[in-house]
Amino acid sequence: MSKLLSLFIAFNLFFLDFGLAQPFVKIGGKLKISDVASDVSRDSVLVRQTDGTIASRPIESLFDRPSGSCNSGYYVLPQNFDFQNIPSTHANAIWEVRYCHDLQNAHVDLPANVILSFKGGQFTNYQSLTGDFTVIDAPSTPILLGDMIDGTWSISHVNASWLGAVPLPGIDMHPALTKAWEFTINTGIRRLIVPNGNYHLEAPWRIFGANGTLLPFQIDGFGAVLDNTVVIGSQSASLRGLAVVGAPRHGFVFLRGQGAVHEHLIARDCGLDGFYFGIDRGVNNYGANFQVTRCVFSGLIAANNGRHGWLMDGFSTANRSWFNANSVISFGSIGNTGKGFYWIGGSGPNGGSQNNYNTYVNMNCEGNDDISIELPEGRANTFVGGHFVDADSLGYTFRTPAPYNVSIGGRNVGKMERSSFAYVNTGETGESGITGFINGVDNLSTKEMTVTEEPFMPKGWSVFPQSLQSNTIATNNNDNHKVDLDLSAIGTAEDLVLRVTQFGKRNSSAGNASKYAFNLIIHLGTDTGGAISVDWNRMMDDQKCLVNSVTEAGGIITIDFNTIFPVFTDGVRVVEYRSLKEADFR
């Protein structure tokens, strides 16, 4: 009982004596002398030291732990931490950041293998912050508010909010988003996250850089809504989950792309086009041209924009513009003032624009003020499915007049114009090409070709013997070239198609730039024993070649034609023939 009473008195004396800031304490019934500081603020704590004395120490010191052989060190950075003289022991360590550290406009090099664990703190006012396999552990709050970040960072993504991009009404977030993208692209992290919310931008957000890497960079919006244009000038960058609403001009602008995947994008209520490919004719100086190839565009919506849902403008001031070998899947153009999906051909210093070899799947154009699909140039594009409601003043919902474009399935409410093949659900015949109308289950009717229409090219061409043909080059190398073909060895001219292909070069010292090639296509009727008639021929104006006349005398067919470019005698000519009666239209 006496021992318990002594212990009770000793503890009471301890608390009483320390509370009065006396220079002594009693521990275990024995008197111990110590210099005990009077600082008992919330950033300090009383501790029992190894010699049994009691002292006041900062809270941070309790966490200081040098790294061992199998663990990282752990340090709470004090408010006055000197970033210009970082102790060597702080490498390979976790830094708990509780305070706002002003880095005094300095260049700060972090030691190797540091984990920055932000617990309410920030790094501000730095010229550069250089990582060395640095890790960031932080919530979606501003933590890095300085100039440039470089070096090596061991993180899976950059969060735009770390750089100060937060959805605050009326506050320009363009500088913060730009710094977030620069952090991503300059350090090769390859993924940028823009958290959910509405972001105000005073200028278009330009996503440029790393054009030659051919390595993926992903920008994830997670429901982020921007009120100004997003410009993609990096061929490696892909967009996902972003919306542009109410931009002054375009929603999304694409200048570069190779192997990128853009998905779940919405452009709504913008001043001009929802999705735009082009330089904007110098208004915003987006670039000199657009060159997009081998990309995928999936789940895109353009709604209620002031001009077109999707516009590609081929005009360029350097090289040329092109949109080749891409896939557009589930694009919806709804309620726009102009056209649904539109191409404006153009040219640059290195030739005309190109729109070739693309595949368009399940596109929908409805409620727009003009035609659904208009591609006045471009070849070998394929449309699968889709729903095309909007028509121009002539009743066309779909115009693809260039060669070899194909449409399969889908629904067209109006007429179609194309040059190759369409198998669609529509009540309108349209113009040119071969058309299969879906009138019922497995009910296919083929449109008859006429003189003015471009023919369908059947399979299985045979080479016309060189011994039965001759060639006369015009004296001025341009007008009234002639090709004579002796049909006696073929036996019939009934439904016969002749295709003359000429290859050559403009002069004997010409390089690749001066080479040329063109085709002449002729369709004949009856047989070699009677009068041979010419049912139709193709005027190759797009290849600068024009058929003047096709005549027959004694089974010899003479083709007279002109060329814009000079043709010389050292060219190579191949003539092929095929009977349309054996053509396979499946």
Q: Rounded to whole angstroms, how far apart are CA atoms 483 and 472?
A: 6
Residues 6+ apart with CB under 8 A from 346: 313, 314, 315, 316, 321, 352, 353
- DSSP lists the bridge partners of residue 505 as 515
Could you give the C-alpha distances from 145 to 94, 121, 417, 441, in angstroms and in order? 21, 11, 56, 65
What is the sign of the dihedral through the CA atoms of 447, 452, 458 and 460? positive
3-state helix/strand/coil string of 520-567: EEEEEECCCCCCCEEEEECCCHHHCEEEEEEEEECCEEEEEEEECCCC
Contact (CB, 8 A) for 190 and 219: no
Q: Which pLDDT belongs to residue 445? A: 36
The residue assigned the tokens 């009743």 is 395
Distance (Å, whole) CA 445 – CA 464: 32
Residues in the chain: 586
CA gap 154, 187 in Å, rounded: 10
Structure tokens at 147: 């100039």
Rounded Cα gap, residues 533 and 551, in angstroms: 8
Hey, what amino acid is at 426? T
Task: Enumerate residues 6+ apart whose C-beta is below 8 A from 509.
Answer: none
What pLDDT score was predicted for residue 583? 45
Question: In the structure encoding, which two tokens stand for residue 286, read together?
Answer: 């987006």
As a whole number of angstroms, the distance between CA 451 and CA 447 comes to 13
Nearest alpha carbon to residue 328 among 379, 301, 380, 363: 363
Q: Would you state the structure tokens that stand for residue 569, as one six-digit string? A: 């005698």
Give the residue range(s) of CATH 2.60.40 domains in the chain. 462-582
CA angle 384, 436, 299 (to 5 degrees): 15
Please tell me the distance from the alpha carbon of residue 536 to that of residue 521, in angstroms, as a whole number. Answer: 9
CA distances from 404 to 248, 407, 545 (A): 38, 10, 19
pLDDT under 70: residue ranges of the chain: 1-43, 49-50, 211-213, 282, 419, 426-460, 491-493, 505-515, 526-544, 570, 580-586
d(CA 470, CA 500): 12
- C-alpha 129/C-alpha 179 separation (Å) is 13
Given a contact cutoff of 8 angstroms between Cβ atoms, the answer to whether 194 and 219 are in contact is: yes
* 187 and 151 Cβ atoms separated by less than 8 Å: yes
How far apart, in whole angstroms, are the C-alpha atoms of residue 523 and residue 338?
A: 40
Distance CA 181, CA 203 (A): 15
Instruction: Decide if 545 contacts 474 (C-beta within 8 A).
Output: no
Per the CB < 8 A criterion, the answer to whether 307 and 338 are in contact is yes
DSSP code per residue over 163-221: GT----TT-B-HHHHHHHHHHHHHHT--EEE--SEEEB-SS-EEE---TT----EEEEE
* Phi, psi of 13, deg, nearest 5: -60, -40
How far is Cα 36 from Cα 336, in angstroms, rounded to an integer?
A: 77
Alpha-carbon distance values, 89 to 48, 93, 114, 295, 371 (Å): 25, 8, 11, 48, 69
pLDDT, position 314: 93
CA-CA distance, 161 to 171, in Å (whole number)?
Answer: 14
Separation CA 371–CA 414 (nearest Å): 9
**In angstroms, rounded to a whole number, what is the distance separating the alpha carbons of residues 266 and 273?**
12
Quick one: fold of 462-582? Immunoglobulin-like (2.60.40)
- What are the φ/ψ torsions at residue 505 (nearest 5 degrees)? -140, 155
Sign of CA dihedral 141, 143, 149, 152: negative
pLDDT of amino acid 439: 42
- Closest Cα partner for 410 from 443, 433, 392, 383? 383
> What is the spatial distance between Cα 162 and Cα 172, in angstroms, rounded to a whole number?
16
Give the pLDDT of residue 566. Answer: 80
CA 437 from centroid of its chain's CA atoms: 35
